């Protein structure tokens, strides 16, 4: 970018303090948690934007995009930068569009739909919703920091998904507004099925500026931790609770030993050499759950009320991709995969992987409901990384035995999972970003308009 680009772009916003040129700050705003992957770490460590702009409204975004379109300047949108795959890391410099100031909850409707700006923190939305008798259907374990827009742009599901499916299921995202990257940027409203044009496109096909997201009635939750002698026993009990719709639950997570040994602040609720399950269960069912766990041979190591995101310990802080974080803290050689095991052949698939890879793979299971209503053992297994070739052998074996893998070691929408096979996100990019300036390099099947063949 030239000095005149920077001056002109700074003039697009009403306060020059919201245009950041300090290289260190811009680099910080160009990063996410890509370093969870040793492969992405190598690829992305030196990538940075050149200027960070922090618009406060849609008009400022439109002015920025109009200038960038005319002058061929790349734009990469940033929510809170908690993504794992370098989703928000600019590959070709340009503008980091940091939406930090667009963080207003407009309303929560009486039937439980939140209308908000993109950078409302999920934790703020959860707390506000609970005050009004609702709660999020599902959220990532990064809830405190992560933004709603970033979740739509790059996330998939998390706590709550065992009952409500992923973010893209069951019409959780009701509607959104998106700003296009054209000579005259438009604000386009997408509703119903049309939200899938934009969801999980990593900000490559428009900037989401307004969101309608469905909530669910709030539940009084409790947390429970249960230890079992073997992974098989723990998995069997966890599966029973996860798949039986009589249990009202938000979280059913199973860890193979030695994963719990990485949870330094809560070692008192782990048991050496034992597998562990963490539950969020309706408080009204806690006593029943404890009895069922003990009858199945488990030891209940924690049973306590959940009083919100400040509950200590907060078991969800050790689940979903936070598990990987605790493991990396203990041993930097750990990395991870994202898998979906079969609801019927799961045990056989575990056995095959163990037979080939032994303790190079450690099972961390997150039960989740799919869009068809079936609960499956989703998984974010830990992997002891040695070489890229070895990691790819593991991915190949998974796929050959029917275990789906959303590869977290690639930096493009198509390779990372959740890309629509009907090319919806790509077709939308061709309409909304014909020059390919939004987060360029991340949607690899895209060709700029003049070369497009679709
Ligand atoms: C420890 C840890 C645990 C995690 N656990 C989970 C989990 O349980 N479930 C899960 O799904 N994810 C998880 N993640 C990934 C990530 O935290 C979530 O996906 C989160 O919702 C991303 O939100 P963000 O605001 O940080 O987005 P960012 O990282 O800032 O952005 C994510 C992507 O969305 C794009 N984007 C951001 N805002 C917009 C917008 N307004 N319009 C268009 N595009 C936009 C960005 O360009 C980027 O491509 C985890 C990550 C970490 C590090």
Residue 95, helix vs strand vs coil: strand
Residues in the chain: 454
Give the mean model confidence (pLDDT) for residues 102-112: 98
The answer to whether the pTM exceeds 0.95 is: yes
451 alpha carbon – ligand 1 mean position (Å): 31
Q: Which atom of ligand 1 is nearest to the CA of 206?
A: 43
What tens digit of pLDDT does each residue of 195-224 get?
999 999 999 999 999 999 999 999 999 999
Instruction: Give nearest CA residue, ligand 1 atom 16.
Output: 83
* The pLDDT of residue 417: 73
Residue 285 has pLDDT above 70, yes or no: yes
* Mutation test residue for ligand 1: of 56, 140, 161, 365, the one with most atoms within 8 Å of CB: 140
Residue 452 has pLDDT above 50, yes or no: no
The structure tokens listed for 327 are 């493991």
418 alpha carbon – ligand 1 mean position (Å): 13
Contact 242, 162 (CB under 8 A): yes
Percent helix, percent strand, percent coil in the chain, to nearest 5: 35, 25, 40
Mean pLDDT over each residue of the chain, to the nearest integer: 96
* The pLDDT of residue 450: 57
CA distance 216 to 186: 32
The structure tokens listed for 368 are 């989740």
Instruction: Give nearest CA residue, ligand 1 atom 33.
Output: 154
Give the mean model confidence (pLDDT) for residues 8-24: 98
Listed in order, strand segments (DSSP E) in 326-422 are 334-336, 339-340, 361-362, 364-369, 375-379, 382-384, 404-405
Pocket of ligand 1 (CB under 6 A): 32-33, 76-84, 87-88, 99, 118, 140-142, 146-147, 149-151, 153-158, 202-203, 207-208, 320-322, 325, 439
* The pLDDT of residue 454: 43
* Domains of the chain and CATH, by start: 3-98 (3.30.43.10), 105-217 (3.30.465.10), 221-405 (3.40.462.40)
Q: Which atom of ligand 1 is nearest to the CA of 79?
A: 30
The structure tokens listed for 86 are 């370098």
Q: Which atom of ligand 1 is nearest to the CA of 439?
A: 47
409 alpha carbon – ligand 1 mean position (Å): 15
* Mutation test residue for ligand 1: of 35, 136, 150, the one with most atoms within 8 Å of CB: 150
The residue to which tokens 């979903």 are assigned: 320
Contact 236, 275 (CB under 8 A): no
Q: Which atom of ligand 1 is nearest to the CA of 76?
A: 47
Instruction: Give nearest CA residue, ligand 1 atom 50.
Output: 321
Instruction: Give nearest CA residue, ligand 1 atom 28.
Output: 81
Residue 152 has pLDDT above 90, yes or no: yes
Give the mean model confidence (pLDDT) for residues 386-400: 98
Return the closest-CA partner of residue 302 out of 327, 323, 279, 272: 279
């Amino acid at each position: 970018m030239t000095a005149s680009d920077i001056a002109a772009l700074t003039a697009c916003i009403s306060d020059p303090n919201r245009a950041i040129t300090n290289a260190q700050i811009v680099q910080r705003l160009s990063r996410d948690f890509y370093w969870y992957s040793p492969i992405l770490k190598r690829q992305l460590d030196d990538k940075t934007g050149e200027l960070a702009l922090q618009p406060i409204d849609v008009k400022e975004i439109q002015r920025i995009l109009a200038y960038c379109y005319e002058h061929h300047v790349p734009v990469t949108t940033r929510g809170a930068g908690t993504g794992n795959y370098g989703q928000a890391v600019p590959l070709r410099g340009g503008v980091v569009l940091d939406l930090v100031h667009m963080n207003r909850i407009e309303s929560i409707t009486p039937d439980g739909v939140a209308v908000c700006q993109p950078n409302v923190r999920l934790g703020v939305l959860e707390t506000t919703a609970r005050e009004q008798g609702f709660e999020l259907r599902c959220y990532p374990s990064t809830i405190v920091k992560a933004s709603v827009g970033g979740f739509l742009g790059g996330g998939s599901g998390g706590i709550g998904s065992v009952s409500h499916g992923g973010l893209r299921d069951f019409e959780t995202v009701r509607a959104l507004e998106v700003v296009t990257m054209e000579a005259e940027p438009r604000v386009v409203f997408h509703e119903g099925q049309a939200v899938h044009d934009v969801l999980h496109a990593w900000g490559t096909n428009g900037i989401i500026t307004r969101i309608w997201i469905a909530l669910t009635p709030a539940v009084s939750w409790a947390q429970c931790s249960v230890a079992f002698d073997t992974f098989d026993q723990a998995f069997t009990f966890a599966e029973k609770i996860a798949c039986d719709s009589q249990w009202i639950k938000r979280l059913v997570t199973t860890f193979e030993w030695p994963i719990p040994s990485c949870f330094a602040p809560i070692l008192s609720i782990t048991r050496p050499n034992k597998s562990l399950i963490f539950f969020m269960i309706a408080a009204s069912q806690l006593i029943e759950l404890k009895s069922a766990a003990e009858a199945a041979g488990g030891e209940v190591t924690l049973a306590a009320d959940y009083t919100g995101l400040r509950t200590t310990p907060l078991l969800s802080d050790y689940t979903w991709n936070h598990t990987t974080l605790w493991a990396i803290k203990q041993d930097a050689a750990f990395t991870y995969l994202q898998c979906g095991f079969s609801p019927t052949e799961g045990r056989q698939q575990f056995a095959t992987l163990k037979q080939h890879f032994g303790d190079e793979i450690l099972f961390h299971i997150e039960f989740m409901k799919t869009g068809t209503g079936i609960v499956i053992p989703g998984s974010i297994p830990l992997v002891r990384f040695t070489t890229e070739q070895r990691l790819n052998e593991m991915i190949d074996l998974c796929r050959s035995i029917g275990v789906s893998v959303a590869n977290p070691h690639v930096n493009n929408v198509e390779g990372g999972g959740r890309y629509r096979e009907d090319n919806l996100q790509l077709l939308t990019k061709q309409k909304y970003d014909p020059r390919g300036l939004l987060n360029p390099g991340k949607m690899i099947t895209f060709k700029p308009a003049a070369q497009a063949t679709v």
